[in-house]
Amino acid sequence: MAENAVETIVAAIAERLEAKNAAREQALTASRQVIRHAANGIRAIHRGQEVEAHAMLNEGREKLAGVTATLQNHPDIYWAGYMQDAQKELAEAFLLFALVREHPLPTPQDLGVEDAPYLNGLGEAASELRRYILDLLRHGTGEAARAEALLDTMDAVYSHLVTVDYPDALTNGLRRTTDLVRGVLERTRGDLTITIRQMELEAALKGRT
């Protein structure tokens, strides 16, 4: 009798673990795919390939929504960490797209991500603006005003993120992300200031010839 009971209980547990393991494998695969879509989307944004970027980001969002639904019965797997990493990367890509195109920012609900990954993604999107600004400056004086506007955007993001003062356990290390944004912001401000002054000097010298 006892042996039969043990067999029944162990078999039931094994069945649940098998389902959980399958969900875990699906989540790992999907999270990697979401991160890849986000990375490719960011690359397309920097290349000015708006249509391609939009398609990649939407595909990543659909993939994330699908696996999120799958994990409704497995909250331990959902909160294991890799899903939050995927959410952060996807949020970064969508937010970068919105920032450089001057579109309204999508909300966490729009993207299907949690609050902490969203905030960290916002910080990383602000840092990613540095590359976009430097690319603009390479195009000459005609893009200086646009670069300055994006620097103001970086500053605004930092100014708001620094006010979110909660334990790292709640924010997934947002304080560190915010510190990184500050460093990138200051370097970018310095680079932009030097470049604009050089442009002004070159224009003044040309005017004398």
Domains and CATH numbers, the chain: 1-101 (1.20.58.2140), 114-209 (1.20.58.2140)
157-192 pLDDT per residue, tens: 999 999 999 999 999 999 999 999 999 999 999 999
The answer, yes or no, to whether residue 201 has pLDDT greater than 80, is: no
Contact indicator for 66, 33 with CB cutoff of 8 Å: no
pLDDT-derived band at 196 (thresholds 50, 70, 90) equals confident
Q: How far apart are CA 106 and CA 58, in angstroms?
A: 12
C-alpha distances (whole Å) from 41 to each of 96, 119, 127 are 10, 19, 16
CA distance 18 to 48: 45
Supply 156's token pair. 């605004």
Chain segment 93-107, per-residue pLDDT in tens:
999 999 999 999 999
Residue 207 is predicted with a pLDDT of 67
Alpha carbon distance 80, 31 (integer Å): 12
pTM over 0.85: yes
